[in-house]
Amino acid sequence: MESIPLIPNCPPGLEYLTQIDQIIVEQKVSLLEAFTEWEVKNKYAIYNGAGQQAYFAFEESDGCERLCCGAARGYTLHIVDNFQKEVAKITRPFLCCGNLCCQNETTIEAPPGNVIGVVRQQFGCASHNFAIYTPDGEAQLEIHGPNECGFGFACNCCADKVFKVKTLEGDTIGDIRKKWTGMTREYFTDADTFTVKFPIDLNVNTKATLIAATFLIDFLCFEDNNASR
């Protein structure tokens, strides 16, 4: 894909997000993870609705945390464009209490060093709900996860899982949808696929923060294939 001219008030490298209303996030399959118990660093391709790659994300994390803490590990995700330039950085701190009863949080910077959004899990043990904030702490959107049997979504497993994106007034304006990709891939790997839909005129920083929310949802709800299958 060709580069897009700079747009005022848009972080450099995120100009492309201003032109789309949907992205696809596809985690790349790791053969090591498929056939062993090793938790490897995640890698994701980010596509537009037509299947054209716009960005690539790769994880930086501590090896001991990946081995001992699995999906509860802290991480930094580096987002690069098709020219291998880092355009954003997403961080989540390690929480020693695990996934279930802590308020998980992730921050996105674009360019790295400039915070543009924060995602916070809402209070409640094993909560599937999240909120998106500006860097100043102003709430912007809410994300409401499915009400199913347990944190790993053990019930109705052979189906998409939909997290509705809502305004503070309760209107649904989009969703983050974890796609069902078939029994073999779902059971033997953590390689997940998501579609993220939002209004085309949504603020670009908020669009980028929804991408950060997608990664947080992946780690919290779907990364442990023993719990989520």
Q: Over 90: is that where the pLDDT of 133 sits?
A: yes
DSSP state of 218: I
In this predicted model, what pLDDT tens digit does every residue of 3-42 receive, in sequence order? Answer: 677 788 899 999 999 999 999 999 987 654 444 444 568 8
Average pLDDT for residues 120-147, to the nearest whole number?
89
Confidence band of 147 (pLDDT split at 50, 70, 90): confident
Long-range contacts from 86-89, C-beta under 8 angstroms, 24+ separation: 86/111, 86/112, 87/11, 87/12, 87/13, 87/14, 87/55, 87/111, 88/11, 88/13, 88/14, 88/112, 88/208
Q: Could you tell me which CATH number the domain at 15-222 has?
A: 3.20.90
Report how far residue 145's alpha carbon sits from residue 182's, in angstroms, rounded to the nearest whole number: 21
Asked whether 128 and 155 are in contact (CB, 8 A), the reply is no
Q: What is the pLDDT of residue 1?
A: 62
**What's the pTM?**
0.85
User: Sign of dihedral through CA atoms 45, 172, 205, 2?
Assistant: positive
Q: What is the domain partition of the chain in residue ranges?
A: 15-222
Asked whether 25 and 193 are in contact (CB, 8 A), the reply is yes
In this predicted model, what pLDDT tens digit does every residue of 66-123 receive, in sequence order? Answer: 566 656 788 999 999 999 999 999 999 887 655 456 788 999 999 999 999 999 998 7
